A and B are shown apart, each in its own frame.
Chain A
Amino acid sequence: VENVRLLDRLSSRKATLGTLYLTATHVIFVENGSEARKETWVLHSQISSIEKQATTATGCPLLIRCKNFQVIQLVIPQERDCHDIYISLIRLARPVKYEELYCFSFNPKLDKEEREQGWKLVDLTEEYNRMGVPNNSWQISDVNRDYGVCDSYPTEVYVPRSATAHIIVGSSKFRSRRRFPALSYYCKDNNASICRSSQPLSGFSARCLEDEQMLQAIRKANPGSDFLYVVDTRPKLNAMANRAAGKGYENEDNYSNIKFQFIGIENIHVMRNSLQKMLEVCELKSPSMSDFLWGLENSGWLKHIKAIMDAGIFIAKAVAEEGVSVLVHCSDGWDRTAQVCSVASLLLDPYYRTMKGFMVLIEKDWVSFGHKFNHRYGNLDGDPKEISPVIDQFIECVWQLMEQFPCAFEFNERFLIHIQHHIYSCQFGNFLCNSQKERRELKIQERTYSLWAHLWKNRADYLNPLYRPDHSQTRGTLWPQMAPCNFLYKFWSGMYNRFEKGLHPRQSVTDYLMAVKEETQQLEEELEVLRERLANLQKSQLNDYKVKSKQQDRSKQLGLSTSDNSLANTPQEYSNDLKSFPSRSPSQGDEEDSALILTQDNLKSSDPDLSATSDQESGVEDLSCRSPSCLPSEDSGKDSDEAVFLAV
Chain B
Amino acid sequence: MLRCSQPLTGPNRKRCREDEMLLGTVLDEGERGFVIDTRSAQVAKQARMTGGGTEPKSSYPQWKRLHRPLERGRLLQESFIKLVEACNDTSVNMDRWLSRLESSRWLSHVKAALSTACLAAQCMDREEASVLVHGAEGTDTTLLVTALAQVILDPSCRTLVGFQGLLEREWIQAGHPFHLRCSHSAYSHARLKQEAPLFLLFLDCVWQLSRQFPFSLEFGERLLLTLFDNAYASAYGTFLCNNEKERRVGESTHSLWAWLNEPGEKKKYLNPLYSPNPLVIWPSVEPQSIQLWQGLFLRWIRSSQHLDEAWAEIQCIVEGH
Contact = CB atoms under 8 A, between A and B. Distances in A.
Contacts of B294: 487
B127 A520 contact: no
Contacts of A519: 321
What secondary structure prevails in chain A residues at the interface with B? loop
Q: How large is the interface on B (under 10, 10 to 19, 20 to 34, 35 or more residues)?
A: 35 or more
Nearest to B214: A509
Interface string A578-612: 10010111101000000000100000000000000
Interface stretch (B98-106, B224-232, B248-256): B98-106
B94 interface: yes
Nearest to A564: B279
B288 interface: yes
Contact of B94 (A288, A404, A489): A489
A483 B32 CA distance: 55
Interface string A492-527: 010001000011111101001100110110010000
Interface string B284-309: 11111111101000100111001101
A484 interface: yes
Contacts of A574: 115, 118-119, 122, 285
B309 A407 contact: yes
Interface in B263-278: 273, 275-278
A487 B88 CA distance: 11
A54 interface: no
A292 B92 CA distance: 19
Nearest to B92: A486
Given A481-B302, A505-B213, A578 B321 contact: no
B110 to A, nearest CB: 8
Contact of B126 (A303, A504, A584): A584
A570 interface: yes
A513 to B, nearest CB: 5
Interface stretch (B1-9, B49-57, B199-207, B311-319): B311-319
B90 interface: yes
B310 A466 contact: yes
A357 interface: no
Contact of A572 (B32, B127, B215, B285): B285
B212 A505 contact: yes
A297 B291 CA distance: 15
A562 interface: yes
A509 B315 CA distance: 13
Interface stretch (A56-64, A415-423, A468-476): A468-476
B282 A571 contact: yes
B198 interface: no
Interface residues of A, number: 75
A344 interface: no
Nearest to B301: A484
A505 B214 contact: yes
Given A491-B288, A505-B212, A569-B282, A293 B277 contact: no
B317 A598 contact: no
A559 B269 CA distance: 25
B107 interface: yes
Contacts of A302: 94, 98
B107 A289 contact: yes
Nearest to A486: B97
A585 B108 CA distance: 30
B127 A487 contact: no
B215 A598 contact: yes
B310 A406 contact: yes
Taking each of A487, A488, A572, which has the highest tally of chain B beta carbons within 10 Å of its own beta carbon? A487
A562 B102 contact: no
Nearest to A555: B321
Q: Which of A291, A567, A571, A598 has the most CB of B within 10 A?
A: A571
A381 B88 CA distance: 48
Query: Which of B92, B125, B306, B318 has most chain A Cβ within 10 Å?
Result: B306
B66 interface: yes
A244 to B, nearest CB: 28
A572 B310 contact: no
A563 to B, nearest CB: 5
Contacts of B287: 287-289, 291-293
B288 A493 contact: yes
Nearest to A289: B108
A576 B175 CA distance: 32
B211 interface: yes
A575 interface: yes
A27 interface: no
Contacts of B301: 484
Given A407-B313, A488-B302, A489-B94, 4 more contacts: A509-B273, A520-B321, A562-B279, A578-B123
Interface of A: 10, 282, 286-294, 296-297, 300, 302-303, 306, 404-408, 465-466, 468, 471-473, 481, 483-491, 493, 497, 502-507, 509, 512-513, 516-517, 519-520, 523, 558, 560, 562-563, 567-572, 574-575, 577-578, 581, 583-586, 588, 598
